[in-house]
């Protein structure tokens, strides 16, 4: 197996794992929308940061860029306390963008 084949295998595994991670993010967002616990945002940031690092590692920089934007938005929300429903909707739309980019890969 050459380097290119290995990278493609890693990308496939990343995309498979991405579905699980997106599901985790969506679950955390719904919990946050319901109870407003900042711990959910902290956990969300941890998952998104891990996803972003993995995306960079497999050279899926377009997905990493979306995750970077979502991370920034979550950090801003954590400090400014924007309306929860609006925040959750924006992050969910970003997760949909990631799903679409992964499907097109």
How many whole angstroms separate alpha carbon 96 and alpha carbon 100? Answer: 6
pLDDT tens sequence across 12-56 = 999 999 999 999 999 999 999 999 999 999 999 999 999 999 999
Question: Residue holding tokens 């497999």?
Answer: 58
**Looking at residue 81, what is its pLDDT?**
75
Burial class (CB in 10 A: 0-12, 13-18, 19+), 44: buried
Tokens in use for 61?
């920089």
**Looking at residue 89, what is its pLDDT?**
95
What percentage of the chain exceeds 90 in pLDDT? 79
Q: Which residue pairs, CB below 8 angstroms and at least 24 apart, start in 46-53?
A: 47/21, 48/74, 50/21, 51/18, 51/21
Residue 7 has pLDDT above 90, yes or no: no
Residue 1 has pLDDT above 80, yes or no: no
Residue 3 has pLDDT above 70, yes or no: yes
Which among 62, 87, 93 has a CA at the least distance from the CA of 75? 87
Domains of the chain: 3-104 (1.20.120.160)
Alpha helices, DSSP H, located in the chain: 3-35, 38-57, 61-80, 84-104
């Amino acid at each position: 197996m050459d380097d290119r084949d290995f990278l493609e295998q890693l990308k496939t595994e990343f995309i498979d794992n991405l579905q699980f991670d997106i599901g985790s993010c969506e679950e955390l967002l719904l919990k946050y929308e319901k109870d407003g616990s900042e711990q959910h945002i902290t956990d969300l940031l941890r998952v998104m940061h891990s996803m972003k690092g993995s995306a960079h590692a497999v050279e899926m920089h377009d997905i990493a860029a979306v995750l970077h934007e979502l991370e920034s938005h979550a950090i801003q929300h954590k400090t400014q306390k924007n309306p929860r429903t609006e925040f959750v909707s924006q992050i969910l739309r970003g997760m949909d963008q990631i799903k679409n980019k992964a499907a097109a890969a």
